[in-house]
Amino acid sequence: MKTRIVIGVSLIAVALVTANLFASHAQQAAGEQPIGNGALPFANPLKIALLKWYAANTVPEFPAGPNPVGVAFDGANIWIANYGASTVTKLRANDGLSLGAFVTGNAPAGVTYDGANIWVTNSSDGTVSKVRASDGKVLGTFPLPGVVPWWMTFDGANVWVTSSNANGNGWVTKLRASDGQNLGNFMVGNSPLAAAFDGQSVWVTNLGSNNVMKLRDSDGTVLGTFAAGHPFGIAFDGANMWVVNQGTGTVSKLRASDGTVLGTFTVGGSPYGVAFDGKNIWVTGSPELFELRASDGKTLGFWGPRTNTTGVAFDGANIWVAGYNNSKIGKL
């Protein structure tokens, strides 16, 4: 029962209807500022002068499997964990062409790329699978100490996987990427959900403990614990960690070196995932998708109020966002 509760809590942000329209990077480059809540789609004087009253450049969407959650880029393709189908979908990044759907374990939630293979958490099995990126072949499936694994990170040699048991007790497991050898199970907080690597340390969000932990990459020693508000997604921007606080409708910017909070920015609703595009921070969730300037957290755009998104990834040129309820992925 508690296992189901953990999964239910982690999907709070995906309970509403997904929108079909997003604004594109091209629009923002032209000076068009997206406005939410039913206002004119683009308040750009040039568009008005040209009598362009239509929302051009709508972002293309591509079919995924049922209830997509995690998203990852492998250098050429986008991988999507289909929570409702026990599969991962592979799309070609340049045009969204489907290159296949591959069966893994039950209720896949997270996907991470290690330079050659895709790692997939099977959230109903308490396992993680290693999938060859070239052809989708499952190379191995490895057990975890918890029964509910979620989002992972890769440190250049090892994959760090969060998991929790029926009581919410949590671990992050270090698996050698080359062969899946378990190099250690390290206890963290209650109901850990996501992990990120900052080049030296691994960060883990503990939803049930209202904190994030920083662990030394070499041996899993906890280097610091920092307060948060029911944190979910986490991302690194090259200097700072961005933490989604699902319980407070905010995203916090923490200095990676010491965990000092440099700012907390309101996005509202139930934010879910987060990604860095080299300049800005993207925050998914319900009811809106936000783009924040990484330097100061200023909101650059938001899309809603019908938007409901989960996983997010950057492919070097575009942002890919999973829509949980419409089983599609948008390319911005």
Q: What is the mean pLDDT of the chain?
A: 86
Asked whether residue 30 carries a pLDDT value surpassing 50, the answer given is: no
pLDDT at 287: 86
What 319-323 contacts at long range (C-beta under 8 Å, 24+ apart), as own/partner pairs, is 319/25, 319/275, 319/277, 319/282, 320/71, 320/73, 320/78, 320/93, 321/22, 321/71, 321/282, 321/284, 321/289, 322/64, 322/68, 322/69, 322/70, 322/71, 322/80, 322/284, 323/18, 323/19, 323/61, 323/68
Q: Regarding predicted confidence, which is higher, 219 or 307?
A: 219
- Confidence (pLDDT) at 49: 56
Is residue 19 over pLDDT 90? no
Contact criterion met (CB below 8 Å) for 123 and 132? no
Total Cβ atoms within 10 A of residue 282: 25
Q: How many CA atoms lie within 13 A of 55 on its CB side?
A: 15
pLDDT tens column, 200-211: 999 999 999 999
> Phi/psi of residue 76, each to 5°?
-140, -25
Contact 68, 329 (CB under 8 A): yes
In the prediction, which pLDDT does 230 show? Answer: 94
> For every residue of 125-193, which 3-state class applies, written as one string?
CCEEEEEECCCCCEEEEEECCCCCCCCEEECCCEEEEEEECCCCEEEEEEEECCCCCEEEEEEEEECEE
Domains of the chain: 2-22+59-331 (2.130.10.10)
Where residue 33 falls among pLDDT bands split at 50, 70, 90? very low
pLDDT at 76 over 60: yes
Give residue 60's pLDDT band: very low, low, confident or very high (50, 70, 90).
confident
What is the percent of the chain where pLDDT is above 70?
81
Q: How confident is the model at residue 258 (pLDDT cuts 50, 70, 90)?
A: very high
Higher pLDDT, residue 31 or 133: 133
**Residue 15 confidence class, pLDDT cut points 50, 70, 90:** very low
Please check the confidence at residue 77 and state whether its pLDDT lies above 90: yes
Q: Residue 44 — very low, low, confident or very high, per pLDDT cuts 50/70/90?
A: low
Q: Is the bond into 305 cis (omega within 30 degrees of 0)?
A: yes
- As a whole number, mean pLDDT of residues 87-114 equals 97
Summarize pLDDT for 227-248 with one digit per residue, the tens. Answer: 999 999 999 999 999 999 999 9
Of residues 295 and 57, the one with the higher pLDDT is 295
Reduced to 3 states (helix: H, G, I; strand: E, B; else coil), residue 249 is coil
Give the single-character DSSP code of 117. Answer: E
DSSP string of 32-46, one letter each residue: --B--TTS-SB--HH
DSSP character string of 281-318: EEEEEES-EEEEETTT--EEEEE-SS--EEEEEE-SS-
pLDDT of 272-324, one tens digit each? 999 999 999 999 999 889 999 999 999 998 877 656 899 999 999 999 999 99
What is the band of 20 on the pLDDT scale with cuts at 50, 70, 90? Answer: very low
Residue type at position 279: K
Give the per-residue pLDDT at 302.
84
Least confident of 33-42, 84-93, 270-279: 33-42
pLDDT at residue 55, rounded to an integer = 45
Neighbours of 132 (CB within 10 A): 13
pLDDT at position 47 is 52
